[in-house]
Structure 1
């Protein structure tokens, strides 16, 4: 007898957001408020409190250089440590433990800033603890978001990451408006104390979700990593055979797939070698540019409203225009150039971004020339420089992250993300070196006033010329548009 029963399709339940997500996003918003809040006033505070408390014009050059050196060293340390934090989490502790324990160190660092605002030595200890905290968790927080998803709700990942990055920008924008006001009206203890309270709240929020997190256990020490394979190849260079690359000598001792992946990393490093100069200049917008603002006319007249900006508040222009420019470039500028027959490849975008960064510094140098001549230029000129710098950031920073992801196989994407952060550290170490030379009356002391900015314009111009010569000769392998690349690295035959 034939069965005539109709089969009714079972409706799948709609995907649900992981319950841990609100705790992660709340933690990130509060943590970013604390980090950007203390950083936006750091340089001005160091000058006013420690290096030139009497506002003596004769001490200004050395004092500014000392404050800038301290700020850039702090940033360099904060962006160098994610590489270490990621390894510790993956090998020994897992992400949850390192985020929680390092957050406590982070809170202690903020406490030191607030308690020791008249003691430079202990204040610097506080900065080091904050750098350890910010750097230690930076490589873990965003990947912890992805860990919360499985096949049932993976379609929601992009939306959650959208909210995650919104929380970052919301925290940073709110803090760069509020904390300078608090510093100006209530002093350093409150201005550094409130970010510390926010970091404590961030830690409590993260701890509150402890029973809800999906925790990926640590894998133990993995010898097949970038550092071990690179060092082995270097110390066994004599084993290299004709026709082999240097890294091929490691294939007998290490996983050949990992060795091939590390080859891809070094190809990307040829591009990343040009990125530190961008960060060396970009991070001056949060230090050297802030000092310049002290000499500008910060009165804003919008017709319907008039007010005076505080020097440290002008940095808020950057995230505002950054968020505005991302869709403008993705849906307007890039398609327009493509239609004109000018393909906007990642390397061309990076080159254009370096050029715009240099242009923003031309404006800053011209502003400084006016200041050096006794002028009092409007803050609008620096806002214009911020707008151009933000466009350069879209072209360099966002494109660089995309390039790191697409040009590396799956096994190396985490490594590439950590190396990308190291370019920020390298750029700030250049700033540390230059400012240290100025404060100790070394070679770079001759570049004062506008000359300081023209120095960096010359440096990025040289990098740009070199980039235009080298970039057309770089080999590119996109592991996203050409998935067979990953299979080739793994030694598998692609499906037909």
Structure 2
């Protein structure tokens, strides 16, 4: 497959972009469709006979769901490594998409077989997680200096597509589970994933293919290992010992990764502990609520449609109105202020949901529409933390270490889901107590992050020159670095 020529007109998207966007729309529908019904399916179907006691069954379902999500956010590290070092993005995406399809097939076929169903979840975690870092990066690969000004626009479309797929999946698939059954409810996302793979394959003759880099002698791990081996007393930083074997730029890049990690790893997981429970704890809560809103009866899992809908509405509003308003008032909402504030909003959303739970435990019956309020607050927290945090982390490391920073960001989500899975498996907290427990931890993390952020010295790394075309980089022997 040869590289496609640059777009004839710089104000037009490359011809291959619709294939990637179409792939993403179908794949996101398939993922969110199956994930959003997973907790309810486990409680009402798969675990009903194996775990008769309802409270224990809910706890086990929650643990399984978060174990699955931990895998989804761990396997991007493997997929990105395979793509960068050995197979390239196109082949990695195509092959792992077939694994992804096989996983969906297992869910549809083994609704009454725990071993077969869990095998399907494992395959989806490998497939979905493995392609996650490759698809977005492949979008960027399709642009060159003649149309680079369109990159920001295409990523906005890309992000919108993710939420568009999630929105319709959240509305439709829970209804199918209730009214048609698990085989169809899991089968339709599988059909969409097969369609996503077909669309991606159909664009094979048009893609710009950046070859894998192979082994990098100055990767993050190699620099760290060298620093440990050659550390000496009296050095300004223990990483300076690596300068004997590695360029100063590589060592400075590793220092940047540790600076960002010191801000992210201790605190960001506490936000994901809250956010990802909208697909577990909040769904369980919705099962105890009155599902009727006017003439419409909502399934507990359907309420998750609020999040992608609000993301599509609130990001433009915050960017165009709220952030400029704070800037004009003299107190700019910088990234280092937004992220701790995102943790606060996440905590407040759980406090609100916790009071709902207290009311229901006291005998009140609440309408499911009350969940709209904590969803609004949580989504504001997501925008302040997630969209801000990833962009901020990306700017704080040089080009050679941006892949490593992406890995650090994904690890925060993996750690969060592992922690929630363990807590649920041990049934440490139940009822309203779990809401206030997680909210309290998030508030402590918000204070800690705000204090660390005050001492953090911002150092932005932006690309100051146009990227060298792939063929020239290869001829010069220049390859990007990654962990």
What is the CA-CA distance between 1:254 and the residue it aligns to? 2.4
> In 2, are the aligned partners of 1:267 and 1:475 still within 8 Å (CA)?
no
1:239-388 equivalences under 5 Å are 239-273=231-265, 274-301=267-294, 306-388=295-377
Instruction: Point out the structure with max Rg over C-alpha.
Output: 1
Instruction: Tell me which of 429, 447, 451 is aligned to 2:433.
Output: 451
**SS of corresponding position for 1:216:** coil
What is the CA-CA distance between 1:13 and the residue it aligns to? 4.9
Tell me the alpha carbon deviations over residues 105-136 of structure 1, each in whole angstroms, 9 at most, x when there is no partner. 00000011111111112211110100000111
What is the CA-CA distance between 1:14 and the residue it aligns to? 4.9
Instruction: Tell me which of 58, 62, 65 is aligned to 2:56.
Output: 62
Instruction: Tell me which of 442, 447, 453 is aligned to 1:471.
Output: 453
Instruction: Tell me which of 392, 398, 401 is aligned to 1:403.
Output: 392
Q: Aligned partners of 1:215 and 1:232: how far apart in 2?
A: 33
Q: Which moved more, 1:179-188 or 1:323-332?
A: 323-332
Q: Aligned partners of 1:104 and 1:61: how far apart in 2?
A: 37
1:99 and 2:93 matched: yes
Say how many residue pairs are matched: 457
Instruction: Tell me which of 20, 26, 29 is aligned to 1:33.
Output: 29
**SS of corresponding position for 2:163:** helix
Q: Which moved more, 1:360-369 or 1:143-152?
A: 143-152
Q: Aligned partners of 2:323 and 2:148: how far apart in 1?
A: 29
1:170 and 2:159 matched: no
Taking a change above 3 Å as real, the CA distance of residues 13 and 477 of structure 1, as seen in their structure-2 partners, is closer
1:18 and 2:18 matched: no
What is the CA-CA distance between 1:54 and the residue it aligns to? 9.4
Taking a change above 3 Å as real, the CA distance of residues 315 and 147 of structure 1, as seen in their structure-2 partners, is same
What is the CA-CA distance between 1:483 and the residue it aligns to? 6.1
> In 2, are the aligned partners of 1:66 and 1:435 still within 8 Å (CA)?
yes
Q: Aligned partners of 2:32 and 2:391: how far apart in 1?
A: 24
> In 1, are the aligned partners of 2:160 and 2:312 still within 8 Å (CA)?
no
Taking a change above 3 Å as real, the CA distance of residues 377 and 416 of structure 1, as seen in their structure-2 partners, is same
Tell me the alpha carbon deviations over residues 160-212 of structure 1, each in whole angstroms, 9 at most, x when there is no partner. 22222222111111111111111111100011111111111111111111111
Q: Aligned partners of 1:156 and 1:128: how far apart in 2?
A: 37
Tell me the alpha carbon deviations over residues 31-78 of structure 1, each in whole angstroms, 9 at most, x when there is no partner. 11110000000011011123235995xx12211111011100111111
Q: Aligned partners of 2:418 and 2:319: how far apart in 1?
A: 32
> In 2, are the aligned partners of 1:83 and 1:419 still within 8 Å (CA)?
no
What is the CA-CA distance between 1:256 and the residue it aligns to? 2.5
Match of residue 125 from structure 2: 131
1:42-61 equivalences under 5 Å are 42-53=38-49, 59-61=53-55
Q: Aligned partners of 2:362 and 2:110: how far apart in 1?
A: 38
**SS of corresponding position for 2:60:** helix
**SS of corresponding position for 2:289:** coil
Tell me the alpha carbon deviations over residues 438-496 of structure 1, each in whole angstroms, 9 at most, x when there is no partner. 1xxxxx2xx2210111111221122122223322122221224x969xxxxxxxxxxxx
Tell me the alpha carbon deviations over residues 220-268 of structure 1, each in whole angstroms, 9 at most, x when there is no partner. 111322223223333x26x323133121111222232111111111111
**SS of corresponding position for 1:223:** coil
Tell me the alpha carbon deviations over residues 395-453 of structure 1, each in whole angstroms, 9 at most, x when there is no partner. 11111012112211122222212221221111111101111211xxxxx2xx2210111
Match of residue 470 from structure 2: none
Taking a change above 3 Å as real, the CA distance of residues 152 and 464 of structure 1, as seen in their structure-2 partners, is closer
Match of residue 154 from structure 2: 160
**SS of corresponding position for 2:37:** helix
Taking a change above 3 Å as real, the CA distance of residues 128 and 312 of structure 1, as seen in their structure-2 partners, is same
Unaligned runs of 5+ in 2: 1-7, 466-483
Q: Aligned partners of 1:468 and 1:164: how far apart in 2?
A: 31
1:85 and 2:79 matched: yes
